[in-house]
Amino acid sequence: MSGSATWSFREEDAARIGVLLNRLLAESGARTALLVDRAGQMLATAGHPPSFDPITFATLTAADFSANDQLARLLGENEFGALFHQGEKDSLYLADVARRVILVVLFDNTTTLGLVKLRVRGVLGDLSQVFTDMFAQDGQRAGTPRGVERGFVGEAEDEIDKLFGGA
Amino acid sequence: MSLINYASREINCKLVYYGPGLGGKTTNLEYIYEKVAPASKGKMISLATETERTLFFDFLPVDLGTIRGFKTRFHLYTVPGQVYYNASRRLILKSVDGVVFVADSQMERMEANLESMQNLYDNMAQHGLDLTRIPFVVQYNKRDLPNAAPLPQLQEALNPGWPVEDPARQHDIPDPYRPGELLVQQTNGGWTERVPHFEAVAMRGDGVFDTLRAVSKMVLKTLG
């Protein structure tokens, strides 16, 4: 068993993912694509900037997916690899990426669920590869910073004292 | 697991308030929400039952601002305390960076506290996490009530400490939050480490920010 760890999402990862998400949007006609990690943190967005609070959205997405994972297990399934939430105008399609991340596609009536599913399936393999590479290499990449730079912790502690009323 | 997002220049850390039902976890978050400057807090979400008992979790994001170019944020969660919501509790602990155990000081709740603490250890273990190796503090809430158990009794039951194996840590380590007390000390021939503890009356805010300040600083040190 271990203590808490840190993982990093770097500019080059974001660039590779941006290309894939933009391709997905162009091919599916969906409006926005988002990547959320299983702990509820927003990793990346592409397409129309979301009009909702992204932090809240990411938290609820992770909770939604986790709860459905448990439902799947109750049924004897390993997981529900994808979820669909249908609204009157806007709908969400959520898909698992490499068991670490959730791809969320926001789309409206100008496209169809079938097309979105099809194009998501087309991009999932590439996205999974990016994350598999990322976690395999995290901590082994040369020339890139690990953790935070010196001085960060001290400054952050000062901010905590200011915000939470410390001495 | 803290996420350092170099692309969006963000650092997010996850803190979870754990403990028995009606112990004051949600009250801690509500007080923080009420008192933190509006610019530093996000929307508070409560997935609760009609009677306002936590069903899945409460969530409150708190921004520290931009530090060394990184927007730094703590995500505060509570878990549902009621025994039968264990599936929800386990889910919320995923990738946790720091834990606050909110104990109910009332004598009658001692058994519920112990059961919840054991449940916390078990659920952390299921995620492959060792509670003795991550930032962890205990808050004894409801200290104002006449039936509150004495602090030493609560400490003995809920924060008895664990053996210190690392020789480098086998020396007196003072408790930075309680002058004159030790976190690591020699007991019965061996070395024992306890986690920091705080007394609180969350309803009126006593001890709430002391607890949050301590655990968030402990989490930050893991990033450095």
pLDDT the model gives residue A5: 64
ipTM: 0.84
pLDDT the model gives residue A167: 44
Bridge partners of residue B183, in order along the sequence: none
Residue A108 Cα, gap to closest chain B Cα (Å): 26
Locate A104 and state its tokens: 């969320």
Instruction: Calculate mean pLDDT across residues B75-95.
Output: 89
In chain A, what residues touch B59 (CB-CB under 8 Å)? 40, 56, 59
Determine contact: A52 vs chain B, CB below 8 A. Answer: no
Residue B146 Cα, gap to closest chain A Cα (Å): 29
**Contact indicator for B18, B25 with CB cutoff of 8 Å:** yes
In chain A, what residues touch B14 (CB-CB under 8 Å)? 39-40
Neighbour-count burial of B79, counting CB atoms closer than 10 A to its CB (0-12 exposed, 13-18 middle, 19+ buried): buried
Neighbour-count burial of A33, counting CB atoms closer than 10 A to its CB (0-12 exposed, 13-18 middle, 19+ buried): buried
Kindly list the domain boundaries of chain B, sorted by start residue.
3-159+196-223, 161-194
What are the residues whose beta carbons fall under 8 Å from the beta carbon of A69, sequence distance 6 or more? A79, A80
Task: Spell out the alpha helix ranges (H) of A39-145.
Answer: 54-74, 113-137
Choose, out of A7, A36, A148, the residue to mutate when testing the contact with B (most B CBs < 10 Å): A148
Query: Which is it for strands B45-48 and B54-67: parallel, antiparallel or unpaired?
Result: antiparallel
Contact call for A155 and B68, based on CB within 8 A: yes
| B95-110 confidence digits (pLDDT tens) | 899 999 999 999 999 9
pLDDT the model gives residue A139: 54
Instruction: Calculate mean pLDDT across residues B41-48.
Output: 89
Residue B84 Cα, gap to closest chain A Cα (Å): 15
Q: Select the more confidently predicted residue: B120 or A70.
A: B120
Contact call for A59 and B221, based on CB within 8 A: no
What are the residues whose beta carbons fall under 8 Å from the beta carbon of A27, sequence distance 6 or more? A119, A122
Q: Assess whether pLDDT exceeds 70 at residue B219.
A: yes
Residue A151 Cα, gap to closest chain B Cα (Å): 8
Bridge partners of residue B15, in order along the sequence: B76, B98
Q: Which fold has domain B3-159+196-223?
A: Rossmann fold (3.40.50)
Distances (CA, A) of A99 to A47, A57, A85, A102: 24, 19, 20, 8
CATH no., domain A11-140: 3.30.450.30
Confidence of residue A70 (pLDDT cuts 50, 70, 90): confident
Angle between helices A152-163 and B208-223 (to 10 degrees): 170
Choose, out of A9, A68, A160, A161, the residue to mutate when testing the contact with B (most B CBs < 10 Å): A160
**Contact indicator for A94, A82 with CB cutoff of 8 Å:** yes
Kindly list the domain boundaries of chain A, sorted by start residue.
11-140
Determine contact: B11 vs chain A, CB below 8 A. Answer: yes
Q: Assess whether pLDDT exceeds 80 at residue B82.
A: yes
Q: How many CA atoms lie within 13 A of A92 on its CB side?
A: 17
Determine contact: A90 vs chain B, CB below 8 A. Answer: no
| B155-169 confidence digits (pLDDT tens) | 999 999 999 999 999
Q: Assess whether pLDDT exceeds 90 at residue B137.
A: yes
Question: Nearest 5°: phi and psi at B94?
Answer: -55, 130
